Amino acid sequence: MNSNDKEKRRERMLNVVGPLLDLNDFCADDAKLHCLEAQPAYVTRTITELVRDGVLLRTDVAGTTRYRWTQSPETFEPKQWIDSKIHGLQLKETPEAMRPRERLLRHGAESLADAELLAILIRVGVPKESAVMGAQRIANRFSELLHELPRLTPNELKAISPAATASSYAQIMAGIELGRRVAAMETDRIGEIVRITSTAEAIDYCRRVFHRLAVDGVQEEFHIVTLDTKHKPIHHHNITIGTLDASLVHPREVFHPAIRDSASAILLVHNHPSGDPTPSREDHSVTQRLTEVGTLLGIPVLDHIIVARDRCLSIRECE
């Protein structure tokens, strides 16, 4: 296909995809009426390709086939998708300025879409699926649920795109973990200048520092945050992993690191993997017991924060 033919095909596809972006939920007849410059059969073929690539979701409503975007139309880049259809597997045919790696070097990583960042991590494609095409499928699937991507197994990711080989899976997960560690260090750096003098400040601090635990935790973990005389965080310590139980959370294990840090007070933190931070009877029992011990030791328990995907909550406010 020469350059003139490619430009004609690009314009033809844009005459369909462009108008479709104005429709949030539509049937084939709606699409054909909206794409007046395209043949009805070509509109149907284009919709089929958008569904196959995971850009559109097909559903049946009262016997009628309807379509909706899997991501917000404002974030979908039609020109990028059209280029992937025109150039196919040959990324080298894509204009250099449009290639993900070159765009990152020229404009910075923050300017790239999720699909472009994934394409860089996937690196190379497989027969019938380029790295860019595979990355677009994955980005479409997780457009509003990117935080769930780290939970996938290699087989689950490959089921979305064959380009997600074992090597690509390892590179994606390594990139995610490195980003988390950088973010955690940045959070710790910010946390060093924080003073926790109220429930709102305690919740805000825990939301940032224990974000990963709140979002990705698959079982309950109990932590403490040790505080100095000005109620600035000193360190945070993981005390137990497993269902919160008074028999497991022994005061000795909780206050030993507090004494070692010469803490003036502590903050209790644990997660609810269910996503619902509502405290249980056992949560209240553990809080009361540790509060009493803290009073005897002169290391008061300021609060007990439960972190979860939905929100964070103070047990003090529930008492």
Instruction: Read off the pLDDT of residues 10-40 as tens digits, 9 standing for 90 and up.
Output: 889 999 999 999 998 999 999 999 998 889 9
Would you say 224 and 259 are in contact if contact means Cβ atoms under 8 Å apart?
A: no
Nearest to 86 by CA among 138, 15, 8, 164: 8
pLDDT score, position 89:
45
Question: Quick one: tokens of 4?
Answer: 């003139």
Burial 22-38 (b: 16+ CB within 10 A, else e): ebeebebeebbebbeeb
**Lowest mean pLDDT segment, chosen from 175-179, 246-250, 291-295:** 246-250
CATH 3.40.140.10 domain residues, the chain: 194-318
Instruction: Read off the pLDDT of residues 48-66 as tens digits, 9 standing for 90 and up.
Output: 989 888 889 899 888 889 9
Per-residue confidence at 132, pLDDT binned at 50, 70, 90?
confident
Question: Quick one: tokens of 182?
Answer: 């950088």
Instruction: Read off the pLDDT of residues 232-278 as tens digits, 9 standing for 90 and up.
Output: 999 989 998 877 665 568 899 999 999 999 999 999 999 998 888 99
Max distance between CA atoms of the chain, in angstroms, equals 83
**Lowest mean pLDDT segment, chosen from 103-107, 157-161, 235-239:** 103-107
Per-residue confidence at 216, pLDDT binned at 50, 70, 90?
confident
The CA distances from residue 290 to 68, 173, 246, in Å, are: 52, 38, 9
CATH 1.10.10.10 domain residues, the chain: 3-69
Start-to-end CA span in the chain (Å): 72
Residues in CB range of 255: below 8 A, 6 or more apart: 266, 293, 294, 297, 299
Residue 228 clears pLDDT 60, i.e. is over it:
yes
Taking CB atoms within 8 Å and a gap of at least 24, the contacts of 180-187 are 180/212, 184/212, 187/211
CA distance 319 to 316: 5
Residue 95 clears pLDDT 70, i.e. is over it:
no
pLDDT score, position 139:
87
Residues in CB range of 214: below 8 A, 6 or more apart: 207, 271, 307, 308, 309, 312
Residue 112 — φ and ψ, nearest 5°? -85, 145
Domain 3-69 has CATH 1.10.10.10: yes
Rg (CA), the chain: 26
Mean pLDDT of 154-180: 91
Would you say 253 and 259 are in contact if contact means Cβ atoms under 8 Å apart?
A: no
Q: Which CATH superfamily is domain 194-318 in?
A: Cytidine Deaminase, domain 2 (3.40.140.10)
Please report how many Cα atoms fall inside a 13 Å half-sphere around the Cα of residue 119, on the Cβ side: 27
Mean pLDDT of 312-319: 87
Nearest to 222 by CA among 200, 256, 248: 248
Per-residue confidence at 101, pLDDT binned at 50, 70, 90?
confident
Which residue stretches of 154-280 are H helix? 154-160, 166-191, 199-209, 211-216, 251-260
Please report how many Cα atoms fall inside a 13 Å half-sphere around the Cα of residue 177, on the Cβ side: 7
